[in-house]
Chains A and B, each alone.
Chain A
């Protein structure tokens, strides 16, 4: 069974462009910076930001490591050209390699480190340019925990966090992202040959269909299995969503007083804005 997920790209673009404009200007900032990987999500985020703030207020950073594919770099450059934004390429290989010293390191460890070095660079540039870091994590990645906490999951504002990957694809078409970026296999590109779907063991179409039924429609896993969904895929997704809840939370605090931050001391981020 495959449920089609309702989606309205025009409504979504309306909201997201205004979200970026409002949630930056409220903090007296009218610029954003974004790490461009050449992939779908960062291309969509950057395009929305240009619609919201104008191309002169969006800064792209291309942050390759030595294993980053040529194709990723070309596609990132293509987006810079299409959007007409200012961009800088910073090779992070010396930073990463000076820490690990040897090449024979667990690839997940190194992958996470690469993602966090990129975060460090972006947040440093954020300070230098007085610009907010724009996030690129979509809802599928956030739910499945397919990202590095304090790495690519870190940002100041994230326009894509309530959109499933397959919805990002539809939105990408609506806002004119080149077909080759939309249709290429999604990859974190943290090591040679890595693809999201290869690593997750499930396609985004399948994952989004299951997540949509579990999360939006609140259909229990057992009911989905009864309706013919693959048991192992359901179990895998349920366990990933649960296991990665920590990546979607702030660090927890041991409660000692009546007004513990995050528990009984709760203020909106847009306080007074």
Chain B
């Protein structure tokens, strides 16, 4: 089975929902004929360094402002990032998965980083959901949640085919490669390549570009195959939309080291007091 996937590496206008929704619709129109899933970065509708704007631009899951995106999902599955006003009154850094003119799944960010004061505004999500699509199971992880190995464990166990990582990766640190790429990006790529390679799924890494108050987002969104190969990538620094086809038949069986029942038992039985 083949899956056509599009990656929209955009430069959102900070706190300008209307403008960002228009941009999303433009891109949807552009790719809907040639692709089955279109993925945007974390907080794609809002931008990242929102401060008090977080409160101002939050949307409930049934917000009428999001209707054009919902309706466009008649043609193509769409994954967006936004500030969600939850039914509990809390704000979440969320990813919405739209398909067949409905909101099929919401994944909220699970672990909040202290970076640029976000915890003050956001509450943390408390569940991990799979998306059962016509192409098999998909998973969504937001930002630095990917750094917690236990977060991807349920995805590995259930044999997902594609892991979508929606990020706002800030360019930080000097890598020793001397190739002009930020250390934060180089380190993350090593991790994602290892995940894809050893746990046998595609990783769709979706980052954004641009500056917000001096903070740079690097871009470099890409698709990594289950053999650990980067199949296609967006450029660094520049807005870009790429489309490619994933061959979902190319999966290897899980290895013996993924014997979870044994691993759970060992983790449970270990003594943490030294």
> Which residues does A use to contact B, with CB under 8 Å?
6-8, 10-15, 18-19, 22-23, 26, 157, 265-273
Known: A11-B180, A267-B52, A273-B14. A22 touches B210 (CB 8 A): yes
Residues of A within 8 A of B53 (CB): 267-268, 271
Interface residues of B in 216-274 (CB under 8 A from A): 216, 236-237
Tell me whether B49 and A268 are in contact (CB under 8 A).
yes
13 sampled A-B residue pairs with Cβ under 8 A: A7-B174, A10-B179, A11-B179, A11-B180, A14-B236, A19-B214, A22-B210, A23-B211, A266-B117, A268-B14, A268-B213, A269-B213, A273-B14
Q: Which residue of A lies closest to B116 (CB)?
A: A268
Contacts of A22 in B (CB 8 A): 210-211
Contacts of B214 in A (CB 8 A): 19, 23, 157
Contact between A268 and B237 (Cβ–Cβ < 8 Å)? no
Instruction: Confirm or deny: B13 has a beta carbon within 8 angstroms of a beta carbon on chain A.
Output: yes
Contacts of B180 in A (CB 8 A): 8, 10-11, 13-14
Assess the B213–A11 pair: CB atoms within 8 A: no
- Residue in A11, A15, A265, A266 whose beta carbon sits within 8 Å of that of B175 in the complex: A11
In angstroms, Cα B216 to Cα A265, docked, is 24
Give bound CA distance, A271 to B213, whole Å.
9
Whether B178 lies near A10 (C-beta < 8 A) is yes
B13, B51, B52, B181: the one within 8 Å of A11 (CB): B181
| Complex Cα–Cα for A213 and B181 (A) | 23
Q: Do the beta carbons of A267 and B51 come within 8 Å of each other?
A: yes
Does residue B145 face the partner (Cβ distance < 8 Å to A)? no
Q: Which residues of chain B are within 8 angstroms of A272 by Cβ–Cβ distance?
A: 13-16
Q: CA A19 – CA B209 in complex, angstroms?
A: 12
B61 in the interface, Cβ–Cβ < 8 Å?
no
A18-B237 in contact (CB<8A) = yes
A15 touches B178 (CB 8 A): no
Residue A271 contacts which of B15, B171, B179 (CB distance < 8 angstroms)? Answer: B15
A8 in contact with B178 given A267-B53, A272-B14, A272-B16 (CB within 8 Å): yes
**5 tightest CB-CB pairs across the interface, nearest first?**
A10-B180, A8-B174, A266-B51, A6-B174, A22-B211
Instruction: Write the nearest CB–CB distance from B14 to chain A, whole angstroms.
Output: 5
- For the complex, give the distance between the alpha carbons of A19 and B50 in Å: 19
B182 within 8 A of A: yes
B71 within 8 A of A: no
For the complex, give the distance between the alpha carbons of A12 and B236 in Å: 14
Known A-B contacts: A11-B175, A13-B180, A272-B13. Give 14 more (CB < 8 A): A6-B176, A8-B175, A11-B174, A14-B236, A14-B237, A23-B214, A265-B52, A266-B51, A270-B14, A270-B213, A272-B14, A272-B15, A273-B13, A273-B14
A13, A22, A269, A270 — most chain B CB neighbours (10 Å): A270
Contacting pair A15 B171 (CB below 8 A) = yes
Q: Among A7, A8, A15, find the residue whose CB has the most chain B CB atoms closer than 10 A.
A: A8
Residues on A with C-beta less than 8 A from B237 are 14, 18
Q: Residues of A contacting B51 with CB < 8 Å?
A: 266-268
Residue numbers in B under 8 Å from A6 (CB-CB)? 173-174, 176
CA distance A268 to B182 in the complex (A): 24
Q: How far is the CA of A267 from the CA of B52 in the complex (A)?
A: 6
Min CB gap B218→A, angstroms: 9
A8-B174, A11-B175 known; A270 vs B212 contact (CB < 8 Å):
yes
Q: Mark B147-173, 1 if CB is under 8 A from A, else 0.
A: 000000000000000000000000101
Task: For A13, list chain B residues within 8 Å (CB).
Answer: 180
Known contacts being A22-B210, A23-B211, A272-B15, is A11 close to B49, with CB within 8 Å?
A: no
Q: Which residues does chain B contribute within 8 Å of A14, judged by CB atoms?
A: 180, 236-237
Q: Which of the listed residues B16, B117, B176, B180 has the most CB atoms from chain A within 10 Å of its own CB? A: B180
Which chain B residue lies CB-closest to A216? B173
**Contacting residues of chain B (41-68) with chain A, CB-CB under 8 angstroms:** 49-53
A22 to B217: give the CA distance in the assembly, Å.
12
